[in-house]
Structure 1
Amino acid sequence: MIWIPREIHVDAVADLETWADVRRGWGAEAVAEDAIAPLVEGILLRTARLDAPQLERMPRLRLIARHGVGTDTVDTVFARERGIRVTITPEANVLSVAEHAVALLMAVRRGIVAAATGAASRAELIGGELSGSTLGLIGFGRIARRVARIGQGGFGMRVRAYDPGLSDDEVRAGGAEPCSLDDLLDEADAVSVHVPLVSTTRGLLGAEQFRRMPSHAIVVNTSRGGVVDEDALAEALDAGELGGAGLDVSEIEPMPDDHPLRGRANVVITPHIGGQTREAMRRVAMEAAASLRSELAP
C-alpha cells in the first residue's frame, strides 16, 4: 500500500494506481493515517512531517519518496535504524527554484513589490542594476549552478561561490570563482543561499556575517529558513547594514504576520513557492512516484 498524505499532481497518482493500492489524505477519498498505518509500505511525502512515533506505527514501511530535495521533515535517524530508505527528487525543481531566486533578487534590487503596492514613493524607488555586479552563492549544487548561469548569461554578473564540499576545480567547472565565505561576504552585491539545513548550516548567516557585507547588498534565501538568522537579519536591515532581502523560506512557515521582517519596502517574502511551477510540480511528483515503482512494484 502507498500512502500520500498531501495532494500531488494527478498524473503521479494515476501512475501509482496502475500497480499499487494507493490511499490519499485529501479530497473525497481521504483516509486517516491511523487507519492504514500497519499496511503502508511506501509513502510519497510532500510537505507533511514524519516523526519517530508515526514511523513506529508502520512496521511494513520500506520507502519514503520525498516530493522535493529536503529531508528535514523526516526523522531520518529513526528511518535509517529501521532500514527505511528515504529518496529525494534532486533534479525536478532545479530550474523553477533557480528562476525564483533570480526573481526575488530582481524584485528587491528594483523595488518592484514596493512600487506595485505603493509602499514607497516614486522618488524613493531608485533601484540598482544587476549587470556588472557580483553574485555570491553559498552552496554550489544544482540550483546554485543554474542561478550562476542565469546571472552570468543574462546579466553579465561576476559569480563567486563558497562550497566547502567541492574543490576549487569543481567550482570553476560549474561556472563560478571559488572563494572563502568571508571573501564572498566582503565582495558580493547579492548573496544567494543554496545549502540544506543541517547542524553546521543553521544560523550560517547571522549578525557577524551581515556586518561584513556591503551596505547595499541583498540576501536571497530559497533553501531553508533556519540557515539565515531572521532576528539578526531584521536588526541588520534596521541598522542600514544591508540593502534588502528576498526570502522564500522562513524558520516558521508560513511566516507570522507580525514577524519583524514583514512590512518592509526592501524585503520581498514569498511563501515557499520556489519549486511550485506547473512544470516542476509534475516533474517532482512523477520522479517521486518512479522511486516508489522502482523499489516496490511487483
Structure 2
Amino acid sequence: MRIVLTDPILTRFTDELTRGGADGHDWEFLADRPDSEVMRRLPAADVLVASRLTAPVAATAGRLRLVHVTGAGYDRIAMDALPPGTAVCNTFHHGPSIAEHVVMTTLMLSRRVPRADRLMREGTWESVAVDPGVSLGTTLAGRTVGVVGLGEIGRQVVRATTALGMRARAVRRDPRASLPSDLRMDRVDSEDGLDDLLAGSDVVVLTVPLSAATTGLIGAAQLARMRPHALLINVARGPLIEEDALFDALSGRRIGGAGLDVWWSHPKDGGGARGYTRPFHTLDNVVMTPHHSGHTQETFANRAHEIADNIGRLSKGEPLTNVVRGGR
C-alpha cells in the first residue's frame, strides 16, 4: 500500500512505523511539505497518517482507505470532506504521561512554585521562615480531585492522584458504564452533576473532547461554583473554558490557580505563539505549558507501534482498532 504521513512528530519514529523497513509498504514522509504537495500525492495514497487534515486536502483523497489520526483528538480532521468509504481511526497511549503532568502541575500550584521560582530569579527569598505573612502550601493527600470525563486520560488521572492519597470523583456521559476494577472512585455522576463536582472538588481536571456541546463548558457561572482555593487543570482543549471568565477568576483570586496545557488558538492554525489574548503570563497562580503534557518518548513510540499494527490489519483485511468512522 501507499502511505502518506504528514505528522511532524511521528517522523521521528519511522523504524517503529515501517517495522524497520520490513513492512513492504511504500511510505512518503511529507511533514515538512506544503498542503499543495500533499494534495498532489494524496490521490494515489491508500492511507494517510496525520494529526491535521483540512477540507481542501481531504477532497483530493480519491482512493483513500484509511486516515489514521496520530492522537486521540480528531477535531482537526475534516471527516465530512473525505470519501464515504474512508475509515478514520485514532490512537491513545498518552494517558500516563498526561496524568503525571496533572500531578506535577497540581503540586506546583499547591506549593506556589511559579511565584517562588520567579522571586528567587529576581533575588528575593520568600518563605515562612523569613516572612510570617507568607501562606503555607498544601499536600494532596485527603483532598478531592474532580475529573470531567473518564476516558483514558481521566482514568489515568484518577490512578495517579489516588495513589497520592487524594479522593476522586467524576462526571461522565454514562455514569453507569463499567470502569476498571482498580479505579478508586468516591462517586461518578452524569454530566448533570458538573456543578456539584465543581463545588466539591479541590482540584478540577478537564479531560473531555472538544465538541459543540463542550465548547464553553466552564464559564463565569461554573467558575463561581468552585472553592476559592480550588485549582483548575485543563489538559483537553482550550475552548472548553471561556477565556475572559477564567482570566477574571484567576486575576481576582476567586479560584486558587490553573494549570493550562491547552489554549484557545494554536500556532499551526495561525493563532500566534501564545494561544491566548488575555495576559495569563502576568499571573503567579498559573502554570503555562505549550500543549505538551503527553509529549513523551513512550507516548509516541507506542502510538507508532499501534498505527503500524492497524495498517497491517488493513492490508490483511482484518478489523481495525480504535475506529471513529467506519470505512468500506
TM-score clears 0.5 = yes
**Partners of 1:16 and 1:22 within 8 A in 2:** no
Question: Highest CA radius of gyration, 1 or 2?
Answer: 2
User: How far is 1:115 from its partner?
Assistant: 2.1
User: How far is 1:238 from its partner?
Assistant: 2.0
In the alignment, does 2:49 pair up with 1:38? no
| Equivalence for 1:6 | 7
Q: Specify the SS of the correspondent of 2:305.
A: helix
Range with bigger deviation, 115-124 or 59-68: 115-124
**Partners of 1:110 and 1:128 within 8 A in 2:** yes
Q: Distance in 2 between matches of 1:27 and 1:189?
A: 43
Aligned residue pairs total 292
Q: Specify the SS of the correspondent of 1:122.
A: coil
**Partners of 1:67 and 1:88 within 8 A in 2:** yes
User: How far is 1:279 from its partner?
Assistant: 1.1
Cα separation, partners in 2 of 1:258 and 1:139, compared to 1, 3 Å: closer
| Equivalence for 1:263 | 282
Q: Distance in 2 between matches of 1:203 and 1:231?
A: 11
Q: Distance in 2 between matches of 1:227 and 1:69?
A: 16
User: How far is 1:277 from its partner?
Assistant: 0.7
User: How far is 1:65 from its partner?
Assistant: 0.7
| Equivalence for 1:84 | 86
Which runs of 5 or more residues in structure 1 are unaligned?
none
Q: Distance in 2 between matches of 1:234 and 1:56?
A: 39
Q: Distance in 2 between matches of 1:33 and 1:151?
A: 43
User: How far is 1:173 from its partner?
Assistant: 7.4
User: How far is 1:295 from its partner?
Assistant: 1.1
Q: Distance in 2 between matches of 1:256 and 1:149?
A: 30
**Partners of 2:67 and 2:87 within 8 A in 1:** yes
Q: Distance in 2 between matches of 1:121 and 1:184?
A: 37
| Equivalence for 2:166 | 157
Which amino acid is the alignment partner of residue 286 of structure 2?
A: V
Counterparts of 1:41-60 in structure 2 under 5 Å?
Answer: 41-46=46-51, 49-60=52-63
Which runs of 5 or more residues in structure 2 are unaligned?
128-133, 267-272, 318-328
For the aligned residue pairs, the C-alpha RMSD in angstroms reads: 2.5
Which amino acid is the alignment partner of residue 148 of structure 1?
A: V
**Partners of 1:161 and 1:171 within 8 A in 2:** no
Q: Distance in 2 between matches of 1:88 and 1:72?
A: 11
Q: Distance in 2 between matches of 1:27 and 1:186?
A: 46
| Equivalence for 1:115 | 116
**Partners of 1:203 and 1:228 within 8 A in 2:** yes
**Partners of 1:172 and 1:178 within 8 A in 2:** no
Q: Distance in 2 between matches of 1:191 and 1:73?
A: 26
| Equivalence for 1:201 | 214
In the alignment, does 2:197 pair up with 1:181? no
Return the match for 1:67 from 55, 67, 70.
70
Cα separation, partners in 2 of 1:76 and 1:148, compared to 1, 3 Å: same
Range with bigger deviation, 112-121 or 31-40: 112-121
**Partners of 1:249 and 1:272 within 8 A in 2:** yes
User: How far is 1:113 from its partner?
Assistant: 2.9
Q: Specify the SS of the correspondent of 1:32.
A: helix
| Equivalence for 1:250 | 263
**Partners of 1:230 and 1:261 within 8 A in 2:** no
User: How far is 1:13 from its partner?
Assistant: 3.7
Q: Distance in 1 between matches of 2:58 and 2:178?
A: 42
Q: Distance in 2 between matches of 1:100 and 1:178?
A: 23
User: How far is 1:200 from its partner?
Assistant: 0.8
Cα separation, partners in 2 of 1:89 and 1:259, compared to 1, 3 Å: same
| Equivalence for 1:291 | 310
Which amino acid is the alignment partner of residue 169 of structure 2?
A: R
In the alignment, does 2:264 pair up with 1:272? no
Q: Specify the SS of the correspondent of 1:220.
A: strand
Q: Specify the SS of the correspondent of 1:72.
A: coil
TM-score (ref. length: structure 1):
0.89
User: How far is 1:3 from its partner?
Assistant: 0.7
Identity between Structure 1 and Structure 2 (%): 31
Which amino acid is the alignment partner of residue 114 of structure 2?
A: V
Which amino acid is the alignment partner of residue 263 of structure 2?
A: S
Cα separation, partners in 2 of 1:21 and 1:288, compared to 1, 3 Å: same
